[in-house]
Structure 1
Amino acid sequence: MLSISFRHMPARITTALALTLLASGAIAQSSDPIKVGLMLPTSGTFAELGKTVVNGFKLYVSENGGKLAGRTVQYVELDDESDPSKANENANKLVKRDRVDVLVGTIHSGVAMTMARVARDTNTLMIVPNAGAAEITGAMCAPNVFRTSFSNWQPGYASGLLAARKHKTAVTISWKYAAGDESVRGFREGFEKGGGKVIKDLNLPFPNVEFQPLLTELATIKPEAAYVFVAGAGQVKFVRDYAAAGLKNNIPLYGAFITEGTLAAQGESASGLQTALHYADGLKNPKNDAFIASYKNTFNATPDVFAVQGYDAAQLFAAGLNAVKGDTKKKAEMIKAMEIAKLESPRGPLSFSKSHNPIQDMYARVATGNQNVMTDVIVKALADPSPDCKI
């Protein structure tokens, strides 16, 4: 190996050589691809959601010529299998073996929390494009961890405000796990702020879908409204069971994700259901119009909230990279730029709180055909208080 000694060289030659070596290092940095670690499910229950998030992320990069801050992008993709027991090993593979510049993931909150621990321990930049666990931007918050989706509290709180517009009493139904508890807590806070009262919280173990005993109890209690938090196949069955039990027309049902991505499977049972979320089908703004057209042209499909969250993860990463002209070694400067970023998102204005959780508008939506159509804005620029974050 060639060894260069500066000891006996004239000062002017030493300086010139040093500058040359520094320049060659900068050229190598700029010519190397940026490594993006996409740790999302490609199999199992959440595979389609993972695919849509990835589509959104890659769409933004594609719209920028396949580069971010002038550097090509290399994707290192890993199926997290929505399995928390494998999360530590998988995240460490991407960080320590593949040396990714950013860790992007995931759908499952349990997996995401382990990823966040790895990111925090290794000072790896991480962007969460879905999982809403409060801890990620709460007690576990870190300078290098951001979220472009929501906290479970946000859509729950907005749903409570929405239901309180027409009703004074409500019962909640949810799976008994962290996401369900956090969503219900948000609903209760919003509903009570609007003058309502939650009479009772009903729940069943995750991922049990035997809802009939709870629906029978709900019918006996006879509240003015009900709020539900279940996901995936559970939300399809719940909405169908709710309508079949004759409750739909007697106790109006509210939720956040209860009709998201499942309207076709839910059919007439979902028609007219009101939900609250940070995106709505056909939301009218110039950025969303362009986003929908671009997504349809690229993937021959209509984008949903998960695609938006992936797209904005790429936008946020780009905001950091642009601030340092692609020099990923300037991590502190990147993080500062991401903290103050004000993104033009398909969902509307998007910025970030002290805990790095999205500050975003929340929309009232009604299920019409195969779309969740916006009716109005429930609350503008909603930020999760994140009282446990100590950044």
Structure 2
Amino acid sequence: MKKLKILATATLFTVACAQASATVKVGFMLPYSGAYGTIGQTIENAFKLYVEEQGGKLAGQDIQYFRVDDESNPSKGPDNANRLIKRDQVDVLVGSVHSGVAMALAKAAKDAGVTLIIPNAGADAITGPLCSKGVFRTSFSNWQPGYAMGPVAIDKGYKTAVTITWNYAAGQESTDGFKEAFEEKGGKVIRHLTVPFPTVEFQPLLTEIASIKPDVVYAFFAGSGAVKFVQDYAGANLAANIPLLGSGFLTDGTLEAQGASADGLLTTLHYADNLNTPRDNAFRASFSKRYPSNPIDVYAMQGYDAAQLLDAGLKAVGGDIKKRDQMHEAMSNAVVDSPRGQFKLSAAGNPIQDIYLRQVKNGKNEIVKVAVEKLADPARGCKL
């Protein structure tokens, strides 16, 4: 009988060790082609960098990677998510960049009970009506950078504005955020202009802006579309009389291609090029050494922090990915030591963070000041 007890105890110990040492499967659902292709690869690279810095493991667990090109196509979102969830049986999803894709991904993750970490897409609904205890963001809500630019525009004496973006969720929410803050403080958005995503034919709208003659223009574009818009705006000679402001994605990861056309542009974002803190300097040195041809930008920082957040959750449960509820609670309460500066998550899973005012100088998004401190997304419609 005593021998049987010893064998039973040994068996339980062996099973427990096997469970604790199980490989954690991480599925990247990111754009690897099209307008956002380089952004997706940057996020993946930065996530893997953090894991490499921990010796190739998180909380002692091996990490196995899977990837799907989401093509920035929301209609393919459910099928692509299910390839990772059902076919590859991932434990954690990391994605995406396009807000429409991320909304489909959030629903699929919630339905399947899979942990989701969003390293970019800022769709307000994700921390609003679609909020879930298993869905986290290491980036921003679209509302945050837009809202932070409102008081900046007012402080500069602008009274009327035109907003312009692609006709999709991210652009609408960013420009809505700007409008909310700008009009709260006495300004007026007199026209909202859009082009279909991912169209980059801007000339007719630039002609319209010239005829409207607002005090300022607020724009939301990203990736190759941002490059084309900034170049076209400069080429139309509008900036001398109608200054251009934007969400930081207008100039993040795009400055080399934009060249002199971006000089002097003011943008708001939760990251900047010259924060000059020990944490950010260490991150930049590590990333540039590992990926010397990859720009160090907000996308890299957000991907890096996605791995940090997962690490915090896994450490809290001793690496046991099956303890999902406890892991989610730990992630919700984590203080992330981000290159942007430390942040915590709101109850809805969105970073509460400083939003910086930056100006393009010498090919960099140089920090001017903190536009709004510890800005929390309002999480309208979130019910947990």
Same fold (TM over 0.5): yes
The answer (yes or no) to whether the contact 2:233–2:239 under 8 Å persists in 1 is yes
1:383 aligned onto 2:376: yes
In structure 2, relative to structure 1, the CA distance for the partners of 1:38 and 1:207 (3 Å cut) is closer
Query: 2:70: which partner in 1?
Result: 80
Helix, strand or coil at the partner of 1:46? helix
The aligned residue for residue 244 of structure 1 is 235
1:90 CA displacement: 2.1
2:185 matched residue in structure 1 = 194
Secondary structure in 2 matching 1:348:
coil
Quick one: distance in 1 between partners of 2:178 and 2:139? Answer: 18
Check if 1:229 corresponds to 2:229: no
Check if 1:263 corresponds to 2:255.
yes
In structure 2, how many angstroms separate the alpha carbons of the residues matched to 1:219 and 1:236? 20
Are 1:277 and 2:269 counterparts?
Answer: yes
TM, length-normalised to structure 1:
0.94
Residue equivalent to 2:120: 130
Match of 2:364 in 1: 371
2:290 paired residue number = 298
What is aligned with 2:89? 99
Question: Secondary structure of the equivalent of 1:113?
Answer: helix
Contact 1:37 1:94 in 2 (8 A): yes
Cα RMSD for the two superposed structures: 1.5
Residues 206-221 of structure 1 aligned to structure 2 (within 5 Å): 206-221=197-212
Equivalent residues in 2 for 1:20-169, closer than 5 Å: 20-166=10-156, 167-169=158-160
Q: Tell me which amino acid in the other structure corresponds to 2:29.
A: M
| TM-score normalised over the length of structure 2 | 0.95
Deviation by residue 1:107-139 (Cα, 9 ceiling, x = unmatched)? 122221111111101110110101111111211
> How far is 1:372 from its partner?
0.8
Distance 1:200 1:89 in 2: 37
Equivalent pair of 2:21/2:319 in contact (CA under 8 Å):
no
> Which is worse superposed, 299-308 or 15-24?
15-24
- Per-residue CA deviation, residues 247-294 of structure 1 (Å, 9 max, x unaligned), is 111111100111111112212111001000000112221110100000
Partner of 2:317: 324
Runs of 5+ consecutive residues of structure 1 not aligned to the other structure: 1-9
Q: What letter matches 2:242 in structure 1?
A: I
Aligned length, in residue pairs:
381
Over 3 Å counting, the alpha-carbon distance change for 1:152 and 1:72 in structure 2 is: same
CA–CA distance in structure 2, aligned partners of residues 180 and 336 of structure 1:
31
- Any unmatched runs of 5+ in structure 2? none
CA distance in 2, matches of 1:217, 1:329: 56
1:176 matched residue in structure 2: 167
Greater CA drift, 366-375 or 201-210: 201-210
Shift of 1:81: 2.3
Aligned equivalents of 1:38 and 1:176: distance in 2? 26
Distance 2:79 2:3 in 1: 49
Choose 181-190 or 90-99, whichever is displaced more.
90-99
CA distance in 1, matches of 2:224, 2:27: 28
Matching of residue 287 in structure 1 with residue 300 in structure 2: no
Three-state SS of the structure 1 residue aligned to 2:34 is: coil
Distance 1:349 1:390 in 2: 26
Shift of 1:231: 2.5
Task: Please state how far the C-alpha of 1:203 moved relative to its aligned partner.
Answer: 2.1
Distance 1:262 1:76, change over 3 A: same
Distance in 1, matches of 2:198 and 2:34, equals 14
TM-aligned CA deviation for residue 15 of structure 1: 4.1
Question: How many angstroms apart in 2 are the aligned matches of 1:133 and 1:165?
Answer: 28
- Aligned equivalents of 1:282 and 1:302: distance in 2? 14
Deviation at 1:30, TM superposition (A): 2.8
Q: Name the counterpart of 1:7.
A: none
